[in-house]
Amino acid sequence: MPRGEKRSFECLLCKVKYSKHSVEEGDFYVATSICKSCYRRMQELPASVSCFGKLPSKGFHGYNSHNLVCSSVCPDRRVCLHFTTNRKLKRTK
């Protein structure tokens, strides 16, 4: 974090604080108030524990744009899609 910049965003899961610069670098997602590190941990969990950032597999959920929960209910749906496809999320200003 650049010197003198105030930390102003806190991750809901790990409680680490992030700056505007961190948001611009893609280390924190303002829309969900969750950091990239926590999302990575969720993605690494077994599919039986977390469907985040995974493709559907036999007997387990994963990101599916045709599934109502994924496409409109899940608060992480936009970020999940990008973790699942390994694409960078476009930032809006």
What pLDDT is recorded for position 70? 86
Using DSSP, state whether 82 is helix, strand or coil.
Answer: helix
pLDDT at 31 over 70: yes
User: What residue spans define the domains of the chain?
Assistant: 1-44, 45-87
Q: What pTM did the predictor assign?
A: 0.81
Task: Round to whole Å and give the CA distance between 44 and 88.
Answer: 18
Which residues are bridge partners to 42 per DSSP? none
pLDDT at 18 over 80: yes
Q: What letter does residue 49 receive in the DSSP assignment?
A: T
What pLDDT is recorded for position 88? 60
pLDDT at 93 over 50: no
Using DSSP, state whether 5 is helix, strand or coil.
Answer: coil
Going by DSSP bridges, is the β-strand pair 9-10/34-35 parallel, antiparallel, or unpaired? unpaired
CB 39, CB 31: distance < 8 Å: no
Q: What length does the chain have?
A: 93
